[in-house]
Amino acid sequence: MSTEGKPAVLIIGGLGYIGRNLAKYIHDSNLASEIRLVDKHLPELAWLAPEFKEACSRERFMQADASQERSLARIFDREGGKEFDFVFNCGGETRFSQDDKVYELRSHALSMAVGREAAKRKVQCFQELSTGMVYKPESAPRKEMDKLKPWNNQAKWKLKAEEDLAKVDGLNLMIMRIAHVYGPYTGKFLSTALCMARVYQSKGKEMRWLWKEDLRTNTVHIDDVVRALWTGAEWYVKQAKKTPAPIYNIVDHGNTSQGVVAKIMHDVFNIETGFHGTLISAFARLNMDHVVDEVNDETLDPWAELQNAAGISQSTPLSPFMEKELLKDTDLSMDGSAFEKDTGFKYTHEKLTKKGVEEVIESYKRQGWWP
């Protein structure tokens, strides 16, 4: 199939979880005339599953730190003086609980460097990936215009990037605020719960959550995320009015809560699950550091033992390590209807299901990561 006349695509953070899946979707669907992936890590060290080898091949890949001014020409220059049509910024610091300085340099500075360059080169659509954690947490689903009050450092600097990019003259900006992403090979949010559940299963112990079962932990499947990003870019370039920059929530219809996750863990692992009473939760709120340390002490060694017993000697992206910032009593509750209404996008994974979780575990087994 000819790719002539199709957009040329640059993915910053192209080896990250969303970046690699976006590259694979664009490649497999033959949507672009050129795909360039930029990442500061090497593909060999990125735990790429075999099906990503082609989409994330060496000839598409460029190792560079896009937050450095001196790298920008090399990152953005194409043969014959042509420019990229779509730039997706999937880069930045994905770990939680880091110092402000880390996010300022690795997330905010990165967004601003590539955003300014994209404006200078008149890129047709620059997509900034953000998070639903920028909203003031409420259990009722947050809409795009609702009150903002980021509840961790990562989200605080994501929001600052959103606001500062909106001030860049001539930038064709679109902002995507994304819920907890899950899917095959995921090494975030859901994987922590899965590893913990595996430890509790091996010990025959009950897995218990803090706070209440209706605490919202909204989710979205990676396949829907990458389709939404592409749908958004194609929609954006057809719009006559591009300011203010459109902002959209990307989230499934399941309104995932801790209770939903607990039930799935019970069904998949055949373990007892429950919730700590209000007394323990109240104690935990005052002693978060202590509680997090205790949880991690309880799971990290047994996880290492499970891996040893299974003969897993390679390092893997999986760990039951619980981030303090993700144990907060804060709702991630989002309403994604605006994006569907405006672009006609349809979600294929309506909600987090037992089958969806089992597919994730199967992907870990294929990679030799799962004990």
Please provide the DSSP assignment of 259-309 as one string: HHHHHHHHHHH---EEE--HHHHHHHHH-HHHHHHHHHHHHHHHHHHHHHH
User: Per-residue pLDDT for the chain (371 aa), expressed as one digit of tens each?
Assistant: 556 799 999 999 999 999 999 999 999 999 999 999 999 999 989 999 999 999 999 999 999 999 999 999 999 999 999 999 999 999 999 888 889 999 999 999 999 999 999 999 999 999 999 999 999 999 999 999 999 999 999 999 999 999 999 999 999 999 999 999 999 999 989 999 999 999 999 999 999 999 999 999 999 999 999 999 999 999 999 998 888 999 999 999 999 999 999 999 999 999 999 999 888 888 888 898 999 999 999 999 999 999 999 999 999 999 999 988 888 899 999 999 999 999 999 999 999 999 999 999 999 999 999 99
User: What letters, b where the CB count within 10 A reaches 16 and e where it falls short, cover 228-265?
Assistant: bbbbbbebbeeeeeeeebbbbbbbbebbbbbbbbbebb
pTM: 0.96
The pLDDT value given to residue 282: 87
205: CB partners within 8 A, 6+ apart = 271
276, 272, 267, 273: which is closest to 352 by C-alpha? Answer: 267
Measure the CA–CA gap between 158 and 162, rounded to whole angstroms: 6
Cβ neighbours of residue 26 closer than 8 Å, sequence gap 6 or more: 9, 32, 35, 55, 230
| pLDDT score for 284 | 87
Tell me the per-residue pLDDT of 143-177, one tens digit each, with 9 for 90 and over.
999 999 999 999 999 999 999 999 999 999 999 99
What pLDDT was estimated at residue 326? 84
Q: What is the pLDDT of residue 241?
A: 87
